[in-house]
Chain A
């Protein structure tokens, strides 16, 4: 029983962190209808940025300063990376395909996204080597911290999306790019902003994750990124509450799987959930079954 409760608490903390990453997938998919495969690698890069910043800021000697400034710094760097990826890899494709439809228009951005993901992962491999980097231990109650930070962030994000001009523009853009431009919305800027926010949240998630799990390594994006992605689809890609719900479910599910003898099967389960969701309710738990144009 105690084990079950522990699993639930750990699962919720994990889920909160996963939700932060899932939001990035969801937001970018919302505005571009593109699965940003590179997002998981931005998450990983955020972990490394946090690692170096936290240590440079004194690490365990000044835990609060290191945590606050280090995390914000990592978020800023990740946001910059996200915007850079959008600028270099995705924007040229959008400008090229504008106003014309040709055969593989749809496949091209996916290939590019995949390419950016592989590129970042292997650059990290070269730059940081495959060895695990141990995070400084700053706090005792990391779980609680993860929880609070995630909830506050979600609240702020909800405000951003529903109460600000930028948020309204993001939602308009996700429904109809051309119509949004006709309202005077600078879609390019909104898209860049979306990448920045999503990437910043991923870095927040990764620093929290590493504070809890204590390690950063180049392939961490694959593992956590995939879980986050599944969380986004499960909750309904494009929906913020959906990402939170999906993250929570995936986190708890993963911890419960660890209680069984197939502890390594956590990710098998995650994918299984994904496929079942797509079969039964492809729009996700909180997503809307909109009539998407072909």
Chain B
């Protein structure tokens, strides 16, 4: 997996400083106070998970990082840069790619075109070609379906395409929203194995996942969200042993 961005330098963070930091982020829409002050940090090279029940605010947190939702209060910094002042398009150029919930691939574009549009931010032919090769190596199934329209893929394949598409931008930080949702168990394994390999190549990952067991196994640290607030956080292995977490999310 080649990760160097063709034009943007690798984001530099001081020792011990987080790559991504949310400070007391609040989001409200449609009269609902969806986030009531979320603070979290993601260090460079980490896989961090966010777990919690439906409606706890996990997707909202990711969307607010991608600037798809307006902030009511609080700040989001990425490599020292204040994201609050950027729009979604600029966040992508800054090095953050979101794989949205429900995959949102472009059904009317071929698999190859879906991947190509992922490189829209830099439009560098060479980097594009290389990343397509890398993505195919990561997900061989996609290689066989390059000329098919995205809409004809199975759910699992679409998820692979969505992740591959996000990688095309050569992000420094990858936000994954529910990668296992509605996908055949066998493909879920493939996808999580790929996530591990993406992280090994140096890309930082913030993962939202309802399947708590999977999420805690894949990550080094985790945050537990409950009704728009961080209820708990710590190393994933510790949380997996926490009796309260076990009772609430791991079925005892």
Contact = CB atoms under 8 A, between A and B. Distances in A.
Q: Would A and B touch once assembled, by the CB under 8 A criterion? A: yes
B99 to A, nearest CB: 9
Contacts of A187: 89
B121 A183 contact: yes
Contacts of A165: 120, 123
Interface residues of B, number: 29
Interface string B192-212: 000000000000000000000
A169 B30 contact: no
Interface centre among B89, B92, B93, B105 (most CB of A within 10 A): B89
B118 interface: yes
A241 to B, nearest CB: 14
A183 to B, nearest CB: 5
Interface stretch (A40-48, A173-181, A255-263): A173-181
Interface of A: 99-101, 165, 168-169, 171-172, 174-176, 178-187, 288, 290
B155 to A, nearest CB: 15
Interface string B106-128: 11110001001110110100000
When A and B form their complex, which 6 residue pairs have the shortest distance between CB atoms, in order from nearest? A184-B121, A184-B92, A179-B104, A181-B88, A175-B106, A183-B120
B221 interface: no
Contacts of B123: 165
B98 interface: yes
A100 B30 contact: yes
Contact of A178 (B97, B100, B120, B121): B100
B183 interface: no
B70 interface: yes
B30 A101 contact: yes
A176 to B, nearest CB: 5
Nearest to B97: A182
Contact of A176 (B93, B97, B106, B121): B106
30 contacts: A99-B29, A99-B68, A100-B30, A165-B120, A168-B109, A168-B120, A171-B106, A172-B106, A172-B109, A172-B117, A175-B106, A176-B106, A178-B68, A179-B106, A181-B88, A181-B89, A181-B92, A182-B97, A182-B104, A183-B117, A183-B118, A184-B89, A184-B92, A184-B93, A184-B169, A185-B89, A185-B120, A186-B89, A187-B89, A290-B108
B66 interface: yes
Given A165-B120, A171-B108, A185-B89, 10 more contacts: A171-B109, A172-B109, A181-B88, A182-B104, A183-B118, A183-B169, A184-B93, A185-B120, A290-B107, A290-B108
A176 B69 CA distance: 16
Contact of B92 (A99, A168, A183, A290): A183
Nearest to B99: A182
A168 B107 contact: no
B117 A169 contact: yes
Contacts of A168: 109, 113, 116-117, 120
Contacts of B116: 168
